[in-house]
Structure 1
Amino acid sequence: MLRSPGRGIQPRRVGRKRSSLPPGAVGGASMMAVRTWGLPVLMVLVLAAGGAFGGLADTVSVVGRSIVAVGTYQAMRRPPSVFLGTGFAVADGRHILTNAHVLPEKLDKAHREALVAFVGRGSEVQARELEEVLRDEDHDVVLLRFRGEPLSPLKVDPGPAREGQDIAFTGFPIGMVLGLYPVTHRGIISAVSPMAIPVKSGQGLTPDLVQRLKDTFDVYQLDATAYPGNSGSPLFHPDTGRVLGIVNKVLLTHGKEKALEAPSGITFAVPIIHAVNLMKRAGLSP
């Protein structure tokens, strides 16, 4: 026979405690209480932790603040501004990464031609004079610096990217025609493969290609099309904005596309790790 509880012993109440928090507001997870065999069981539906951005549209609005057009400015020239490619801010916001081939071989100092970053959008543009910090000709990467108010720097993801991974890149394609309006393309990494591949016969070999075959490195082949002016654009995660690589066409036309009779129009990107190594040499934190 079961004994009845004594006066000093109260039966345990089984149920749900009241909370001052609204439903679903505990620890960022949705919470629900159900009864099983008379006992409360707490079912926690854990929500995946989101990144800094909510999707490509949000990412593009943030990445766009870090993008610049790289070119030259000469007051007495017509037009005074010439766009050569795209760059993006890193580290302290006063350093710019782009392709080394974007920079002119020399500046007309006698007529005060200057290397500049064009910052802004449309007609609201400022020119910030740039100076070269370090360059890596083998991987076609250059680190530049400007003075004044910093831009919002992009974070990098130096790890290897995967084939099939979603990507996007933002830059200024055909900037001298379309104007200073950043354009975003999206796609996937279609392949990760060596930058230089052997040609079918010795007739296609050049001293430059022979050297590249000896010192080759992996590049990202993309299924999104880049245009003149996109060189130097950041290749980034659509959801987080972290940079995976730097869009590059010129370097690859002397490597992979040399094996073809005519350029294919395929877009490639150099992994960001090579730019990270350059930043570290300059004493910068990626």
Structure 2
Amino acid sequence: MPMRRLPSLFVSHGSPMMALEPSPARTFLAGLGARLPRPRAILVVSAHHDAAHEGGRATVTVSPAPPTIHDFGGFPDELFAMRYPAPGDPALAKRIVELLADHSLTVSADPERGLDHGAWVPLSLIYPQADIPVVQLSIASNASPEWHYALGQALAPLRDEGVLIVGSGSITHNLRAFFQSRPPIGAPAPAWVRTFTDWVADRFAAGAIDDVLHAVERAPHGRDNHPTPDHILPLFVAMGAGTEAKGLRARRLHDSVTYAVLAMDVYAFGEEAAAV
């Protein structure tokens, strides 16, 4: 029996404290797994796995037992004690290498790297049993939005093979603005955050792929929300994986903010997004 095609997802992972602190985004992600067909494996493209090689180069994890990486500091001991012991999937990693090579996209295998918080924090909420194999693929922050979109397009066949493709970044990510004011978790978003996220949602509704790819330059307050590109690049990979012959179908599954400046939008892409 053929596997049911899965949508691709973009998840705003926010602060690592989402693993512990109540928030609308945490509640949403905790219920998301039940809304999706169960995947046989998960591919996460995380903003915190950045292989910024000249010209763009992807790096994929091949460990059969990827460790949990606590790639942050200054948080409670309870967070550092957390583990997400999902198995890896070397066969899927090999398949990813093949798909990218078929599209002349260079990829290298990393046998030691584990899952950073951009992967394990949201997955610990979506699939808390940690019983689905996970492979992680890097961004390359010195490569273009179009390169990341092409990366997603090359990976699109995985959606027919039971693999859930998840881009994990943040629809807004200005940590300087956060540290300047240190707003409480439930503080409302300023206009410069909401204007940007609403513009992106509008461009998705219009199917304007090129506008979204260049949201940092074209959207109001684009650079205020993304002083660096790393946290928006996983969005472009998820978009590419969800683009089909009829174009891009995007569904905004969730929008909220934490700490005023971290918008927590979640998107699903592909015809299957309508069922999520």
TM-score (norm 1): 0.25
Higher helix content, 1 or 2: 2
Higher relative contact order at CA 8 Å, sep ≥6: structure 1 or structure 2? 2
Higher strand content, 1 or 2: 1
TM-score (norm 2): 0.25
